[in-house]
Amino acid sequence: MIVKLLLALILPFLLVLLFTRVTYNHYVGTLLTIALLLTSYYKGYTDSALLIVLDLLSLTLGFLYARKMGPPKVKEKL
């Protein structure tokens, strides 16, 4: 159970960052992560409400951090 709690704190945060980096849009990254979380809830992979709360906390923190990420840097050609 402790492993699930730790993963609930870490994985949604990292998924938001990954999807934001791939799509260059933090809203799309957050929506894709929400879709994955809702699918896992629907399939029954969540044991308790505490996991859902930790997922939402991590998702919110990931969204706030992804908002601060700027666009990718373009190197100048000489």
Q: What is the pTM of this model?
A: 0.83
Domain ranges within the chain, ordered by starting residue? 9-68
Provide the pLDDT for residue 76. Answer: 80
Per-residue pLDDT at 27: 94
What is the rounded distance in angstroms from the CA atom of residue 51 to the CA atom of residue 65?
Answer: 21
Length of the chain (residues):
78
Each residue's pLDDT, cut to its tens digit, for the chain (78 residues) gives 899 899 989 999 999 999 999 998 999 999 999 999 999 999 988 888 999 999 999 999 999 999 988 776 778 877
Tokens of 66: 């992804």
Please, are residues 30 and 23 in contact by the beta-carbon 8 Å criterion? no
